[in-house]
Amino acid sequence: MSRMIFVNLPVADLPRAMRFYTALGFANNPQFSDETAACMVWSDAIHVMLLTHAKWQGFTTRPICPPGSSEVSLALVLDDRAEVDQLVETAAAYGGTADVNPPEDHGFMYQRSILDPDGHVWEPFWMDAAFAEGEAKEDAQ
Domain boundaries, the chain: 1-63, 73-141
The answer to whether 137 touches 130, Cβ cutoff 8 Å, is no
Same fold, 1-63 and 73-141: yes
CA distances from 53 to 10, 36, 140 (A): 6, 9, 45
One digit per residue, the tens of pLDDT, for the chain of length 141 reads: 788 999 999 999 999 999 999 999 999 999 999 999 999 999 999 999 999 999 999 999 889 988 778 888 999 999 999 999 999 999 999 999 999 999 999 999 999 999 999 999 999 999 998 887 776 555 544
Q: What is the pLDDT of residue 135?
A: 61
- CATH of the domain spanning 73-141: 3.10.180.10
Pairing of strands 104-105, 97-98: unpaired
Pick the CATH number of 1-63 from 3.10.180.10, 3.40.50.10800, 1.10.3720.10, 2.40.30.10: 3.10.180.10
